[in-house]
Every structure is written in structure tokens, then in C-alpha cells.
Amino acid sequence: METEPIKKVSGGKITFITLICIISAALIYYSIMSMMSPERELSRLKSLPGVITDEKNPVDQRIFTDSAYLKMLRQKSFLQSRSLMAETDSIYFIVNLSDSTANLEISGVSVHETKIKSFRISSILMKGDEYPILTMFSTPLTIANSFATIKKEPVMIKMAPKDTSEYKPDVMPDTSIVEPVNFKLEMTNGIILYVYQEEKEKAADRISFRRFDISDRVTDTWNSVKSVAQFKIPQYHPFIKLIIPRSDAKIIYRALPKKGQIAVYR
């Protein structure tokens, strides 16, 4: 009579241990695949059009240890990108992380400038292989998709008056003045630019930021889990995150075209 409960307990322990082993193996597998993701992204960047290596005359990596020379290369890459955008008649975005400024420009003329309060950038864009990164930033980044907490083009529906006696001036307040402004711009080459408002004194601002951030993280995690479940390395997106005043963030987001261009100086 006493042997049966003992067998049941032992069976339960085996099931529990087996479950723990499966979960641990899955987490280890997911971690390994995630760690391989940045390396694969760097390899992808090297294969992009424009990143051409000459096998007979390979780039001497020692030149990238010279900080003065490296600074000149970065400036050259940045100026090339700006020059290409200045030839267009469209508004574009300049992000200068070196002096913490962000500008909207048209044909080389600054039309709006703001100070970047703080920023974060993926290590792959700062400490990765300089040659493909410099080559990539020598051409403008092009926006593929955008997501924001405010509307790109605010629309107000209004009924036309029958005559002048029924006309009433608009008294509807601009709610976007106090709306939290956080947005992200996905580039065609995989880089993501995040822009967050600096102001977080109000509860609504903090809640909006948390919702925006959590939604983005959940989407990214879900996509990674799906890739790992299909035995694929998750896609890694290098990022640049800026914190600027709310009013400037709203102006920049609404001023940029849907397929606008961006130049970045690191």
C-alpha cells in the first residue's frame, strides 16, 4: 500500500525536472541565438551596396586606431551624406551626436535646431567594424516606417456653413501641445531612430512613455521568439535613441516626409 504513493511522487519529480531542463535548454538556445544576432547584422552591413572591399588592396585596419584620422573619416562620411540631401528640395534631419544637436534643414539651410539632452547608440554603430559603418553613414538614411504617440498630420472635420451668418471661427484647442510625443523611425537599412520627449513631470507623460516603450519591446521580443522557434537567428536592429524637448520632437516628426532622409554624425 505504501509503494504506490512513492511511485507517484517520484513520477511527479521526474516530470518537474524534465520540464525545468526543457525550459533551461530553450532559454540557453534563445540566448545563444540572440548573441549571434549583432554579429550577423554586422556581416549584413558589410554586404550592403557601396561597402566594397578590394581583395588586392584591403583596408588596413590599423588606420582605425588613429583617433585623429578616424575623426576626419567620420566628418567626411557625414559631409557626403549632407551634401547628397542638400541637392534635394525636401526637408531632412541632421543628427550630430558629437555636439548634441539636431537640425531640420532644407537645401543646406537650417530651419529648426534643438539640443539633444541625452542619447544612446548601439555599440555596433560605435565600436563595430568602422569601414562598413562609415560607408553606410556616407549616404543618407531613408525612413521606411514610422510609429508615434501623435498623429503625423492632424485632421479636423468641420461642416461648411450655409452662409456667412453661420460662420464661427475655430476655437478647438490644439491638443498636441500637451500630448506626449515619442516616436520611432525605421530606416530601410535596418537602423531604428527613437526620439523621446524630455518632459516627464506629469503622470500622463510617464505612462505614455512606458506604453510606447513596452509595446516596442514586446513586438521585438515576439519577433525574436518566432525566429528562434523557426531555428533562425533573430533580426538585430541597431538603434539611436534621442531625448529632446517635447515641442521640438513634435516639430521634427511632423516636418519630416514619410520617406524622409537623415544624416548622422557620431
Query: Model confidence at 1, in pLDDT bands (50, 70, 90)?
Result: very low
The CA distance from 199 to 258, in Å, is 26
Looking at residue 125, its pLDDT comes to: 84
E-strand stretches of 62-191: 91-96, 101-106, 109-115, 118-121, 141-148, 182-187
Which region among 93-102, 108-117, 119-128 has the lowest average model confidence (pLDDT)?
Answer: 119-128
3-state secondary structure of 247: helix
Q: Does the structure show a pLDDT above 70 at 68?
A: yes
Give pLDDT, residue 214. 93
E strand residue ranges, 177-236: 182-187, 192-197
Of residues 63 and 97, more confidence is placed in: 97
pLDDT at 249: 95
Query: Residue 184 pLDDT more than 80?
Result: yes
More confident residue, 54 or 256: 256
Instruction: Just give the CATH number of 3-159+174-265.
Output: 2.40.440.10
CA distance 189 to 239: 11
Of 162 and 77, which is predicted with more confidence? 77
Which of 72-76, 117-121, 241-245 comes out lowest in average pLDDT?
A: 72-76
State the pLDDT at residue 193. 96
3-state secondary structure 90-107: CEEEEEECCCCEEEEEEC
Is the pLDDT higher at 64 or at 213?
Answer: 213
Q: Which of 233, 264, 227 is nearest to 38 (CA)?
A: 233
Distance CA 200, CA 243 (A): 11
Is residue 142 a contact partner of residue 257, using CB atoms and an 8 Å limit? no
Close Cβ partners of 4 (under 8 Å, ≥ 6 residues apart): none
**Burial class (CB within 10 angstroms; exposed 0-12, middle 13-18, buried 19+) of 77:** buried
Give kind and range of the element (H or E) at residue 261.
strand 261-265
Residue 134 vs residue 257, higher pLDDT: 257
Mean pLDDT of 52-80: 69
pLDDT at 246: 94
87-91, 111-115, 224-228: the lowest-pLDDT one: 224-228
Cell triple for 1:
500500500
User: What local confidence, expressed as pLDDT, does residue 220 receive?
Assistant: 87
- For residues 29 and 54, what is the distance between their CA atoms, to the nearest angstrom? 37
Q: Between 87 and 65, name the one with better pLDDT.
A: 87
The pLDDT value given to residue 133: 79
Percent of the chain at pLDDT > 90 equals: 40
**CA-CA distance, 214 to 41, in Å (whole number)?**
24
Q: At residue 38, does pLDDT exceed 60?
A: yes
Q: Residue 17 — pLDDT band, cuts 50, 70, 90? A: confident
CA distance 127 to 133: 10
Give the confidence band of 181 by pLDDT, cuts at 50, 70, 90: very high
Q: What is the pLDDT of residues 142-180, one digit of tens each?
A: 999 999 999 887 655 556 666 555 555 555 555 556 789
CA 251 to mean position of chain CA atoms? 18
pTM of the model: 0.77
DSSP category for residue 139: S
What is the model's pLDDT at position 30?
Answer: 66
Q: 32 vs 254, which has greater pLDDT?
A: 254
